[in-house]
Amino acid sequence: MTDPVIVGVDGSVSSLEAVDAAAREARLRGAPLRIVHAFGHAPGHRPAGGPPWSPADYGLEPMARGVLADAEERAHAAAPGVAVTRSVVAGEPLEVMEIESRSASLAVVGSRGLSGFSGLLLGSTAVHLAAHGRCPLMVVRGRTEPSGAVLLAVDGSDAGGAAVEFAFAEAALRGAPLVALHVWNTWSERAYEGPGDPLNAMVVDIERLQEAEQRLLDETVAPWQKVFPRVTVERRLERARIRPALLDASSDAQLVVVGARGRGGFTGLLLGSVSQALLHHAHCPVTVVRGQG
């Protein structure tokens, strides 16, 4: 059976928009949809060593069930025929979603909410979930009902291979073209070291760098074009500042796909600055895909 698409809801407009997107993604995949509402903590003091708290203990169960019922109705309207289950879970939303992601094909959240998931794009919560979740994470943001190509942010990293595969598969599912965009500049690459140069004498050879970046783009995309021959692909190489260029390109896309961590930055970071910028500022939904390991 296909792993479910999961979506976190709190009753906010943003989370209900995430339900719409999650239902459509579930339909594309032929997967069930699981709607999750998490309570972060008990609204009061409980004795140490006592039984785990439950929403029912505080009369919150009817409210939670109402939130879930509204979300389920929304899901059926967005994608008729999709099998929907729903669950109220006691726990911090981040922890709940991380656990739920272990058996999901895709996790979907809104960009802002009322409570619970409301911190997802404020501070480190979305970054943490994108970095530590066990499946791709889609953050629904930007334009309402975006259209256009699937935009793949190509970085050429080993970890980014999972994002490339995901982007091709998503374009195929949606019947959309794919724009594979690789943005480069001399700050994002090692400068060319000419023969005999001392270690501290770096010579930037723009033409050579551009040729190398084009090869990187071609070598990243070509194998997957063979796997998905029906996907129309535009290979786009652009010399610019990376984050602004990708954000600008997202204004014409229906979805941006990016790896969790690229070639630059510090190896200990689980989510790169480009991914974070897109999560916060893209003009359309963003899916962050982690590599293995």
How sure is the predictor about 269, in pLDDT bands with cuts at 50, 70 and 90?
Answer: very low
Q: Which pLDDT score, from 0 to 100, does residue 48 have?
A: 56
Q: Which pLDDT score, from 0 to 100, does residue 87 have?
A: 87
Please name the residues in contact with 85: beta carbons below 8 A apart, sequence gap of 6 or more: 4, 32, 33, 34, 35
Q: Is the pLDDT of residue 130 over 50?
A: yes
Amino acid at 203: V
Quick one: 275 exposed, middle or buried, by C-beta within 10 A (0-12, 13-18, 19+)?
buried
Q: Which pLDDT score, from 0 to 100, does residue 51 have?
A: 52
What is d(CA 58, CA 192) in angstroms, rounded to the nearest whole number? 65
DSSP 192: P
Contact 63, 7 (CB under 8 A): no
At residue 186, what are phi and psi to the nearest 5 degrees?
A: -70, -20
Q: Which pLDDT score, from 0 to 100, does residue 133 have?
A: 86
User: pTM of the full predicted structure?
Assistant: 0.83
Q: Which pLDDT score, from 0 to 100, does residue 132 have?
A: 83
pLDDT in tens, 140-157: 999 878 999 999 999 888
- Angle, helices 161-174 vs 13-29, to 10°: value is 80
Please name the residues in contact with 199: beta carbons below 8 A apart, sequence gap of 6 or more: none
